[in-house]
Amino acid sequence: MTTVIEARNLAKSFGRVRALDGLSFSVKEGEILALLGPTGAGKTTTMRCLAGLEKPDSGEIVLDGVDVTGESARARDVAVVFEGFNLLPTLSVRDNVAFPLRSPVYRESEDLIASRVSTAAADLKISHLLDRRIDQLSGGEKQRVAIARALVRRPRAFLLDEPLSALDLKLREALQAELKEVHEKFGATVLYASHDFPSTAELADRIALIEDGRILQIGRLPELIADPHWLSVGLLIGSPSLAQFSAGAAGGEVTIDDTNCVFSAASLDLSPSVSGAVRIGIWPEDVVLLSEARSGTLSGIVWATDFRGADQAIEVRVGSHRLRKAVPRDILLREGETVHLFLPPESCFTFAPETGRRLDTRTKRSADAQSAEAH
- How far is it, in rounded angstroms, from Cα 140 to Cα 170? 10
CATH number at residue 298: 2.40.50.140
Count of structural domains within the chain: 2
Q: Quick one: 213 and 253 in the same domain?
A: no
327 strand-pairing partners: 312
Quote the domain boundaries for residue 352.
240-364
- For the chain, where are the E strands, in sequence order? 3-14, 17-28, 32-36, 58-63, 66-67, 78-81, 157-161, 190-194, 206-211, 214-219, 243-250, 253-256, 262-264, 276-282, 288-290, 298-307, 311-318, 321-328, 338-342, 348-351
pLDDT at 235: 93
Structure confidence at residue 368 (pLDDT) = 43
Q: What whole-number distance in Å separates Cα of residue 62 and Cα of residue 107?
A: 25
Identify the three-state secondary structure at position 91: coil
All residue ranges of the chain with pLDDT < 70 are: 84-85, 166, 363-375
The whole model's pTM is what? 0.88
How high is the pLDDT of residue 10? 98
Q: Is residue 235 part of a domain?
A: no
List pLDDT tens digits, range 259-310: 889 999 999 999 999 999 999 999 999 999 988 888 889 999 999 988 877 7
Q: Which residues contact 266 (CB under 8 A, 6 or more apart)?
A: 252, 272
Pairing mode, strands 157-161 and 190-194: parallel
Whether residue 160 sits in one domain with residue 26: yes
Q: What is the Cα–Cα distance from 297 to 289, expressed in whole angstroms?
A: 10
pLDDT, position 85:
67
Q: What is the CATH number for 186?
A: 3.40.50.300
Q: pLDDT at position 84, please?
A: 66
Residue 101 lies in a domain: yes
* Model pLDDT for residues 128-148, shown as the tens digit of each residue: 999 999 999 988 888 889 888
